[in-house]
Amino acid sequence: MSAPPGNASHAGRARASAMRREKTWEYLRGALWALPTLAVVLALLTWSLLALVDVSPDSPFGQLLFQGTADDARALLIAIASTMATVIALVLGLTVVALQLSSTQFSPRLLRNFLRDRPDQVVLSVFVATFTYSTAGLYTVGISGGERTEGYSRLAVTGAIVLLFLSLVMLVYFLHHIGHSIQIDEIMGSVQQNTLTVIERDLPLDASDDPLPEPPAWAVTVPASRSGYVQTMHPEVLRETAVELDAVTRVVPMIGEHVITGSPLLWAWRLSPEQPPPAPEAFAAVADDAIRIGIERTAEQDVAFGVRQLADICLRALSASVNDPYTAIQALDHIAVLLAALAQHPLGNRHLRDANGDVRVLVRGRDLALYLDLACGQGRRYGAADPRVVEALLRALRTTSTFCRRDSDREVVAVQVRLVLEAAEAAIRQPADLDSVREFGDEVLREVTG
């Protein structure tokens, strides 16, 4: 039996609200302005509060505060503000250089990782807060009612000195962090860890290799409301609507695929053509909450995006302009870690059922074969002439096979091994290099096929 309409409606609103919060949070995590803006507000509030505190200069704590005159305090605040303006320009310049380097040298799909880097956002926020705090003090220090005065909050001015020393520490840390963050090992390690987190947290446990039925002729379509990439998907929201309407729905795109406005986003139908078809408007009303579409791919639920980033690094390293096969081998080693994790996880399509066991939502998903082709396909085509790259591909496939739980998955790995060997046979010209690759490839093939 379906849930009561009131409860279902309340649950639907709660899920829709959660989806909107998820979308907002994901945007703010990648917004370089969000934390600095919050830091500006906090700096203004902090100065306003500390300016009201009057500490006696004769008290023990008062001896630790700034001891200069009002003119000395204003000169100090002006010096701090001007210094921080220069430092902020330096930090933004170095950040732009890091973004440009990662885009041209490694992959443009890595830019989002740098924008989401929390240490960079915190450092910039401290600098902006110091500048704002010092500038705000110029409105009150040494001035009262438009007239010059010698009275001012020594505690508030001392706070500017504390922020100055904190900014100095953060500047040194930023230079250390930016130097490490543009290292290729650090970049690939970060992509690997983020993707492993998505595999463990977001990949469904009810996926299987059972094929999805094709929509019947009487199925109705629910078009996409906008163009873009499928960023997240919550088919449980669709299941509630399908139960209410006694219908079956199938999601057309997979996570990470591109859709165009007006193209089919969902198929919906009832079991018999004699029954009236479900209203597409009912599914369209919840489709935006269940399936989020954006202008770029994100790593929230998209495991293939993480594999794509590492594969891009591999391809850039193999290009004639870079010609860095060792980096390509490193990228394949990191890809092997992801493939090993995927081999141990249920992959494929989803069949979401209601309380009675009837299928209500069908979701197409990637299986191990698709991930293997994404991880190894282009590296095989563009790196087949390098024996070391070929051997790295074979090692990655051998490692993946050791974590496969089914013989069918091992056969999929064996197909990729044979493709790698065929590409090497056609591309490697030196007989000595080809002989070593053949020997290693035959050994891997025997291990994979048992």
Give mean pLDDT, residues 413-419.
Answer: 97
Give mean pLDDT, residues 118-125.
Answer: 92
Check whether 41 has a pLDDT greater than 80: yes
pLDDT score at 14? 66
Give mean pLDDT, residues 283-299.
Answer: 90
Phi, psi for residue 147 in degrees, rounded to 5? -115, 150
Q: Which of 117, 231, 240 is nearest to 174 (CA)?
A: 117
Binned at pLDDT 50, 70 and 90, residue 173 comes out as very high
With a pLDDT cut of 90, the percent of the chain lying above it is: 67
Binned at pLDDT 50, 70 and 90, residue 5 comes out as very low
Question: Which range (141-155, 207-221, 357-371, 428-442) has the least confidence?
Answer: 141-155
pLDDT in tens, 308-327: 999 999 999 998 888 899 99
Instruction: Give the β-pairing of 228-233 and 359-363.
Output: unpaired
Q: Which fold has domain 210-294?
A: Aldehyde Oxidoreductase; domain 3 (3.90.1170)
Check whether 429 has a pLDDT greater than 70: yes
Binned at pLDDT 50, 70 and 90, residue 11 comes out as low
Binned at pLDDT 50, 70 and 90, residue 69 comes out as confident
Query: Structure tokens of 414?
Result: 């064996």
How far apart are the C-alpha atoms of 443 and 321, rounded to whole Å?
Answer: 34
Query: Structure tokens of 434?
Result: 């080809």
Q: Which residue has the higher pLDDT, 367 or 149?
A: 367
Check whether 6 has a pLDDT greater than 80: no
Query: Structure tokens of 119?
Result: 């240490």
Beta carbons of 362 and 248 less than 8 angstroms apart? yes
pLDDT in tens, 57-67: 777 777 778 88
Give mean pLDDT, residues 128-153.
Answer: 83
| Residue-averaged pLDDT of the chain | 89
Check whether 27 has a pLDDT greater than 50: yes
Binned at pLDDT 50, 70 and 90, residue 9 comes out as low
